[in-house]
Amino acid sequence: MINDKVSKALNEQIALEFNSAYLYLAMAAAFEDQNLPGFAHWMKAQSQEEVGHGMRLFGYLVDRGGRVVLEAIDKPQADFGSPVDIFTQSLDHERKVTASIHKLYELAGTQKDYATQTQLHWFIDEQVEEEKTAEEILDQLKAVGERPHLLLMLDRKLAERGS
């Protein structure tokens, strides 16, 4: 049976992952409004990935005998600004998720919950990738500057992302 403190923290992380999914879906809608379907596709795929993260934690908590208690999902904003602004916010959000996972990992350690720490290794590695990818796209967007033809090329590239 999983410790109550760790169980509560895992439920909070599940909520954060589902909030992330909803945020990325809102960002996809913003890109649709900007007629950037490749960026929108990338954000939709990111949203689905975040749902997968939440479900991974959901299953883990159930497997450990914990109780999943779903929290409300926050309404995301609708206006995000330019593509640079959107990916800046995406990177900031991924850093917030990373900090949350690190905090959860530390809690599991103080509670001597080594199984949860082991489970969280996957998430720690995943967050390195998440931050790296968001930062790379942000850097590419900054390099594009005021050259719409390069923005369209990047849009086509992001449309190639698998779901």
- Interatomic CA distance for residues 42 and 133, integer angstroms: 11
- Residue 102's Cα: distance from chain center in Å? 15
Contacts of 134 (CB under 8 A, 6+ apart): 87, 90, 91, 94
Tell me if 150 is assigned to some domain.
yes
DSSP secondary structure code for residue 70 in this structure = P
* pLDDT single digits (tens) 110-160: 999 999 999 999 999 999 999 999 999 999 999 998 899 999 999 999 999
Encode pLDDT of 63-109 as tens digits. Answer: 999 999 999 999 999 999 999 999 999 999 999 999 999 999 999 99
pLDDT at 55: 98
Residue 54 — pLDDT band, cuts 50, 70, 90?
very high
Q: Does the residue 45 lie in any domain?
A: yes
Look up the CATH number of the domain holding residue 153.
1.20.1260.10
Tell me the C-alpha distance between 145 and 109, whole Å: 45
Give the model's confidence band at 162: pLDDT under 50 very low, under 70 low, under 90 confident, else very high. confident
| In a domain? residue 163 | no
- What would the two tokens of residue 150 be? 């390069």
Is 47 a domain residue? yes
Instruction: State mean pLDDT over 20-26.
Output: 98
Residue 136: give the domain boundaries. Answer: 4-158
Q: Report H helices in 34-113.
A: 37-63, 83-110
> Which pLDDT belongs to residue 163?
55
Q: Has residue 151 been placed in a domain?
A: yes
pLDDT value of position 108: 98
In sequence order, the 6+-apart residues with CB closer than 8 A to the CB of 30 are 78, 79, 80, 86
State the total domains in the chain.
1
pLDDT at 109: 97
Q: How far is CA 161 from the centre of its chain?
A: 16
